[in-house]
Amino acid sequence: MSGDPLFPECRPRCIRQLAVGDGHLLHVEECGPVDAQPVLFLHGGPGSGCTPAQRRLFDPDRFRVVMIDQRGAGRSLPSGELEANTTLDLVGDLDYVRDALGISSWIVFGGSWGSLLALAYAQIFPESVCGLVLRGIFLGSSEEIDAYVNGLNATSPEAWQNLVATLRPHELQDPLAAFSRRILGEDAAIALQATRSWLNYERALIGEPPTAATPDPVQLAKARIQMHYLTRDCFLAPGQVLAGIEHIRHIPAVIVQGMADSVCPPLAAERVRHAWPEATWVPVSGGGHGALSPPIARACIKALGWVAESLHGYAD
């Protein structure tokens, strides 16, 4: 496969707003035939929401793709809501949506934060998950979070220097706490400035130019949710996700990892690989973090095809 590996743009077959309790309404959209192999797509972040371009990862004739904006993220309401918004809440939502759509089990496809949520969901509801495609592994550990926030993953020190340029000297000891105070604080102007710096740091790490534009409500919600989760170790006990692999090692799984990923470096993926030798390991040499970049997208599309073929004997 050469050139652009992505499928043509497509429109959702249906869009729903599902009430999942605690005042949360989830934006849920489906693409592809209703009688095709179900696939649940989990966006990153936490808090990023799904995008139309992500639909292009899936063959519209082969898969029934369900895309969910998680609590407070994207087009889900209330936007940026932090109450009743934990990893366990999100896991419960996924199985609620599965049951509401009449799906017995599905392949779960998640990258970055979505890979953590996919693993957590499969470990709690293994009977609901018939396969996993995991891209750019993130385990939610304090080690990973500290490395990201303190610039230890950056390909250029300039990205981190730009991130912390507005912080006071004593705040450099804990940049995450400083950004959390600003982004979740009551001063809207300070929150906007901190959100722009925070999101531009991620853009720099994935090779995108900074934006001087004022963050929109969806971007503000993303930053709020990230502060909420990252300052609480993603509501997970230390080592919880790795320990839980024992409950899912029978599930067909592929780990796609960009070996030049500076947002979710290969170390976490290597740990999952060693804890789960039954999973298929797909390292992408020179691959970064972006799921839609040609080398990563190509590997993910092939991985999904392999998992589907292992379940149903489809020809790839």
Query: The domain that contains 267 carries what CATH number?
Result: 3.40.50.1820
Both 127 and 161 in a single domain? no
List the Cα angle 225/41/232 in 5-degree steps.
25
Alpha-carbon gap, residue 186 to 154, rounded angstroms: 30
Both 152 and 193 in a single domain? yes
Alpha-carbon gap, residue 198 to 212, rounded angstroms: 12
- Tell me, yes or no, whether 163 lies in a domain: yes
Task: Give the end of a domain, one of 215, 234, 253.
Answer: 234
Alpha-carbon gap, residue 23 to 123, rounded angstroms: 26
Q: Which residues form the domain of 160? A: 143-234
- Tell me, yes or no, whether 2 lies in a domain: no
Look at residues 245, 184, 251 and name the one whose alpha carbon lies nearest to residue 220. 184
Look at residues 198, 204, 124 and name the one whose alpha carbon lies nearest to residue 166. 198
Residue-by-residue pLDDT tens, the chain, 316 positions: 458 999 999 999 999 999 999 999 999 999 999 999 999 999 999 999 999 999 999 999 999 999 999 999 999 999 999 999 999 999 999 999 999 999 999 999 999 999 999 999 999 999 999 999 999 999 999 999 999 999 998 677 899 999 999 999 999 999 999 999 999 999 999 999 999 999 999 999 998 999 888 999 999 999 999 999 999 999 999 999 999 999 999 999 999 999 999 999 999 999 999 999 999 999 999 999 999 999 999 999 999 999 999 997 543 3
Both 131 and 245 in a single domain? yes
Active-site residue numbers? 112, 261, 289
Both 203 and 266 in a single domain? no
- Tell me, yes or no, whether 257 lies in a domain: yes
Alpha-carbon gap, residue 291 to 286, rounded angstroms: 13
pLDDT at 247: 96
pTM for the predicted model, two decimal places: 0.96
E-assigned strand segments in 113-267: 129-137, 253-258
Q: Is there a contact between 47 and 222 (Cβ–Cβ < 8 Å)? A: yes
> What is the tally of structural domains in the chain?
2
Both 151 and 208 in a single domain? yes
- DSSP-derived secondary structure letter, 77: B
Both 22 and 123 in a single domain? yes
Both 175 and 297 in a single domain? no
pLDDT at 156: 76
Alpha-carbon gap, residue 106 to 92, rounded angstroms: 15
Task: Give the end of a domain, one of 176, 203, 234.
Answer: 234
Task: Give the end of a domain, one of 182, 215, 234.
Answer: 234
Both 32 and 113 in a single domain? yes
